[in-house]
């Protein structure tokens, strides 16, 4: 039980005293960048899916 308590104390000490946490401004900027990148990636996937779906529908309609 002592080892578990020791590990918990070391983990808490590291999180509180050794980790460099971002400021709110840095966190907000990073979140905005991630949001924009995610939206761009989702848009690219949607365009690719839509284009390939319509292209395959056209290709299959040639053989009906």
Residue 42 within any structural domain of the chain? yes
pLDDT at 27: 97
- pLDDT (tens digit, 0 to 9) for every residue of the chain, 64 residues total? 888 999 999 999 999 999 999 999 999 999 999 999 999 999 999 999 999 999 999 999 999 8
Q: Is residue 10 part of a domain?
A: no
* N- to C-terminal Cα separation, the chain: 72
What is the domain extent for residue 45?
22-64
- pTM recorded for the entire structure: 0.66
- The pair phi, psi for residue 22, each rounded to 5°, is -70, 155
6 touches 13 (CB < 8 A):
no
In a domain, 33, yes or no: yes
How many structural domains is the chain composed of?
Answer: 1
Residue 56 within any structural domain of the chain:
yes
Burial class (CB in 10 A: 0-12, 13-18, 19+), 5: exposed
Residue with tokens 């960048």: 33
């Amino acid at each position: 039980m002592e080892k578990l308590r020791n590990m918990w104390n070391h983990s808490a000490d590291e999180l509180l005293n050794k980790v460099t946490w971002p400021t709110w401004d840095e966190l907000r900027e990073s979140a905005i960048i991630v949001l924009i990148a995610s939206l761009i990636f989702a848009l690219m996937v949607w365009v690719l899916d839509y284009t390939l779906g319509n292209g395959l529908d056209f290709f299959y309609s040639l053989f009906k």
